[in-house]
């Protein structure tokens, strides 16, 4: 596709349920990033994938959060046992050549935990 796509665009879930968020990066981009944007806060880095290297998970807030990237393309962010404080917009970005180039963002998934 022409840009980064994410699905679903909106997700409402009940506290304690698991959710999966999907990201399709720009074709050919080797790096993929997940960020979280809470109301009134800046973007918070969560996890970073670069090619076949081990992902940088240093931003994941707890062990309830995990992510995988299959075949060097599509990525899934999973949040287990969701809490109300997980409510935010989850943004995915991709870039070419990893850390040294600008990142292009998808439209985000708005997650609401009731």
Partner 1 sequence: EDQVTQSPEALRLQEGESSSLNCSYTVSGLRGLFWYRQDPGKGPEFLFTLYSAGEEKEKERLKATLTKKESFLHITAPKPEDSATYLCAVRPNSGNTPLVFGKGTRLSVIA
Q: Within positions 44 to 83, which residues make up the interface with partner 1, using CB under 8 A?
A: 44-45, 48, 56, 58-59
Q: Could you tell me the smallest distance in angstroms from the CB atom of residue 81 to partner 1?
A: 26
CB closer to partner 1, 86 vs 106: 106
Size of the site for partner 1 (CB under 8 A): 24
Cis peptide before 8 (omega within 30 of 0): yes
Those residues whose C-beta lies under 8 Å from the C-beta of residue 18, and which sit 6 or more positions away, are 78, 79, 80, 81, 82
- Read off the tokens for 50: 């670069």
Phi, psi of 99 (to 5 degrees): -70, -20
CB closer to partner 1, 44 vs 80: 44
Interaction pattern, residues 82-111, with partner 1; x per rule: CB under 8 A: ---------x-x-----xx-xxxxxxx---
CB closer to partner 1, 20 vs 56: 56
CA R_g for the chain: 13
Considering only CA atoms, which of 11, 6, 20 is closest in space to residue 94? 6
Considering only CA atoms, which of 111, 64, 69, 63 is closest in space to residue 94? 69
Q: Could you tell me the smallest distance in angstroms from the CB atom of residue 25 to partner 1?
A: 12
List residues binding partner 1 (CB under 8 A).
4, 33, 35, 40-45, 48, 56, 58-59, 91, 93, 99-100, 102-108
């Amino acid at each position: 596709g022409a840009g980064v796509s994410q699905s679903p665009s909106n997700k409402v879930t009940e506290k304690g349920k698991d959710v999966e968020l999907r990201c399709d990066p720009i074709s050919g981009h080797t790096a993929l990033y997940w960020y979280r944007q809470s109301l009134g806060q800046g973007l918070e880095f969560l996890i970073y994938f670069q090619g076949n290297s081990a992902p940088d998970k240093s931003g994941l807030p707890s062990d309830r959060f995990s992510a995988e990237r299959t075949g060097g393309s599509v990525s899934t962010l999973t949040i287990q046992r969701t809490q109300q404080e997980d409510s935010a917009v989850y943004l995915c970005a991709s870039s070419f050549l990893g850390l040294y180039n600008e990142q292009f963002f998808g439209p985000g998934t708005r997650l609401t935990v009731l």
